[in-house]
Amino acid sequence: MTKYRRASRAARVLLPGAVAVVLLTGCAQGSGGAASATGRASPAGVSPTRTPSAAGSDVPLAPAPAGRPAPGTLLVADFGSDTVTFVDPARGATGSVEVGTAPYGLALGEDGRAWVATAEGVAVVDTGTRQRLALIPYETDSGPVTTGEYRGGGMGIALAPDGSRAYVGVNVPDGNGTLEVIDTEALRVTETVPVGRRPFDVDVSRDGAEVYATNHDSFDVTVVATGTWEPRRVEVAPYGTEGGLGSWLKPHYTAVRPSDGRLLLPFEGERLAVVDPRTGRTTIEPMTANTHQHGAAVTADGTFLAVGTGPIDPDEDEGPSLTVRTPGGGERVYPLEGPHEDVAVSEDGRTAYVTGGFTRDGYWDGLSVVDLDTGDVRRLEAGSRPLGVVVL
């Protein structure tokens, strides 16, 4: 792949609260690359059983625990297999549930059900009984069910604030994707909305009035009004769109800032694109990690986290890291060992969990546990190429 580099480099020292260039926004896409195939295997020590699902098919299950998972248990989507894995942050994997081929993103409802975007459809998992309740097929024709970085099917997924709908971005190889709207009670797709190419991430406004699909390969975010289902394209390309599908400088994941509903998209550990979804305008703030960035998350107090996957150019860029950015713009960068993909934060805000799955080569079967107070990082084997992660 051609590696199109940015024309100029941002300052390595962050100015807290700095706001730089104002841009007219549009659509931005993520990086490409070849993926390696992985086999399907349950985590060590897990012996799944089989039981009928609500849809009538056989579903492999880990032995069901008594009651709901302990608070703080993690659930990861095993992109290298067909399972989600439950993870004790102190001990590692404790069981898995088969959900469908190559699960990518997942979302957790207040009722304890997890919604998992797979290549085959959206799986619904009861996290208390550790059972797949249903597999909802897509309305979109995304081609044959396959695995790997460019496979068709579900990618980003999110829930409406009231839990009544699930929104999943469906990748259509070699074409534009869709946003499918699922009624979470009826367990069926009710709307299909066109979006951009490879919708890595899906997010929802705090009031539920808008859904945001972050489209990696079209350099944009699609803003969808939930009242009319009308899509609107907002380009997010702080480095421009030179190189097209071969460019590395595309958007990957988005976080919705609690204070004002603006969208936060990190780029290359150098630039944070802050997008107003109402006006379609972007402001740029400097970042300091100087590394290719993927996963993003934000806490209730506005603390922003961005996953650095490693250098595009090893002669110029820094290695993998986790950036933690205060609402005022100050940053702390935690070095990580090897590429990572996505991040979740403990309820008390003191620990971050960063998945080692990665959409490209270099992934590993586990996650890094980062103590945000001390900076200590502990690697924990769990799952098979885990991508999405939530804290139960």
- Looking at residue 31, its pLDDT comes to 35
pLDDT surpasses 80 at 10: no
Amino acid identity, residue 298?
V
Q: What dihedral angle (degrees, nearest 10) is formed by the CA atoms of 355, 90, 101, 199?
A: -30
- Alpha carbon distance 353, 335 (integer Å): 14
- Looking at residue 286, its pLDDT comes to 98
- Looking at residue 69, its pLDDT comes to 85
SS3 210: strand
Lowest mean pLDDT among 53-57, 208-212, 260-264: 53-57
- Alpha carbon distance 271, 290 (integer Å): 9
Label residue 314 left, alpha or beta by phi (over 0 means left) and psi (-120 to 50 means alpha).
Answer: alpha
- Looking at residue 67, its pLDDT comes to 62
Place of tokens 């709901």: 68
- Alpha carbon distance 235, 221 (integer Å): 6
Residue 391 is encoded by which pair of tokens?
């804290």
CA triple 369-108-32, angle to 5 deg: 65
- Alpha carbon distance 195, 223 (integer Å): 9
CB contact at 8 A, 125 and 95: no
- Looking at residue 33, its pLDDT comes to 34
- Looking at residue 68, its pLDDT comes to 76
User: Mean per-residue pLDDT for 166-175?
Assistant: 98
SS3 271: strand
CB contact at 8 A, 207 and 189: no
pLDDT single digits (tens) 69-119: 899 999 999 999 999 999 999 999 999 999 999 999 999 999 999 999 999
Residue 84 is encoded by which pair of tokens?
């989600």
pLDDT surpasses 50 at 266: yes
Sheet holding 113-117, edge to edge: 106-108, 113-117, 121-126, 131-137
pLDDT single digits (tens) 201-255: 999 999 999 999 999 999 999 999 999 999 999 999 999 999 999 999 999 999 9
Mean model confidence pLDDT for the chain = 87
Ordered domains of the chain (ranges, CATH): 22-391 (2.130.10.10)
The DSSP line for 89-128 is: TTTEEEEEEE-SSS---EEE-TTSEEEEE-SSEEEEEETT
Report phi then psi at 340, rounded to 5: -140, 170
Q: How many CA atoms lie within 13 A of 320 on its CB side?
A: 19
The closest of 251, 336, 349, 236 to 289, measured between CA atoms, is: 336
User: Mean per-residue pLDDT for 356-373?
Assistant: 96
If one compares 339 and 61, the residue with the highest pLDDT of the two is 339
- Alpha carbon distance 11, 298 (integer Å): 24
CA distances from 272 to 10, 174, 262, 265, 338 (A): 11, 28, 12, 6, 23
- Looking at residue 301, its pLDDT comes to 97
| pLDDT band at residue 12 using 50, 70 and 90 as cut-offs | very low
pLDDT single digits (tens) 130-144: 999 999 999 999 999
- Looking at residue 149, its pLDDT comes to 95
Residue 80 is encoded by which pair of tokens?
């290298």
- Looking at residue 357, its pLDDT comes to 97
User: Mean per-residue pLDDT for 55-77?
Assistant: 64
- List, in sequence order, every residue forming a beta bridge with 22; answer none if it has no partner: 283
pLDDT surpasses 80 at 272: yes
